[in-house]
Structure 1
């Protein structure tokens, strides 16, 4: 990042919240019109994860009440994809706990992707942790078109989030997915204890990686995890960070995901004035979300706002 661009970011940070949101709205409308998209996920394999991510109830390092089960069968996953399509989602993602997939699990997941592709007209995504190019090529051949792999935070702050793998491991997986010919969905979590500088550095790295979609999650401090007692970010800080993400990433979908209801409360629309233009619907990995009907009504109203 050159000095001129750094100075521009600092100018954005000095704007009032109203001015910053107005600028972000203008950038969103200019680059993405009134676009608004939904995606949905299924927690296809849950719990007993070897990694020590300090926010996650599925980590085997912590005592939590997260569900534990192996990879769900094909029929259940196809039914979930059908339900996602019916709810209005344009994308459906399988998500599994763990550092990555074994060779046998890659084949099992590929079979499920192929079964969905035969039955449901929906774009298929996957989130399976750290994978190499060969595994990603196999999943692409089965129907997966986009791989989800968050950075979570900045490289500086990453060791405060997890120690069982590195920021470089995350970057390598994103690059392997791109080399395999896949689109990439990568973002992170706000409220882990990071600074505003960390969030900006994450946005800059995502821009450098040229990712296709950016999901933003907001920490839900869950019992049993090391971050259970952390103070939530002020709503003003959240919406300002979303606005800076939009200014730095003008052409990508910025999608609000886990924790948006509790983090933003009555200010959900403000986050979309800040430039977000997508949502995950139908619940998250271990937590329920808003009703699909409420989200669909909200999307229609936001599109009228941008028109």
Structure 2
């Protein structure tokens, strides 16, 4: 897409371009300001000010690409691309990889690899993460290629219109093969800034689950998030008495050494409306090898 284009209809006759961009194209104030400042808003192929009055039949265009830079070092790495178009990139993150650089991990992150890919493929994009995953959780992550795509997908997340599906391998067998966990999650009071607990003081948190297959040592379950709290699936399943295999924070820790080297949690599915086509994208990825191996062992 790279450029938003729309003909002005009769009901917008006499409105300003700013009103049109906000009401018809549903652009954020931040996007409108930056596009205006950089003269990326055109009416009939001519850059305009935001107070320009529109008339029926005018052709409005907003150029989405802009010159940007990012304080991330590009690094060559293998990236498993599940889907790509002019607006977004969806990758299948491997386990044990940090998503974005921080004070501890300045290199070797997914963002380092994605930025290298953008530069090598001659795409003038920075890394705009729409979704994130814990270091040890594998699965699908969306990267927006421009400000508009990021805005559109962030709105879907806010409205709970971007659906996230996970696969987890848990200890034991759930009594109810399908259900909903509706329990508030709260930051732990005991000095551990990472760990979360189920506590009535917390935010409402909802996880829908379904047992897909049972094994001698546990269940393979599918989880769909209705809310997106930190460690939500891990906290909820542990609360039920069925912690995820390999979860050293909420599970059995050292007792599982040799079975799997991280929590057996994989973000395998995404359903959302494409910023480009306005049609629903339904993306899926396979269970990673370490989780397949775990199923064979249990």
Q: Same fold judged by TM-score > 0.5?
A: no
More relative contact order, 1 or 2 (CA 8 Å, 6+ apart): 1
What TM-score do the two structures reach when normalised by structure 1? 0.25
Q: Answer 1 or 2: which has greater strand percent.
A: 2
**Greater helix fraction, Structure 1 or Structure 2:** 1
Higher alpha-carbon Rg: 2
TM-score by length of 2: 0.25
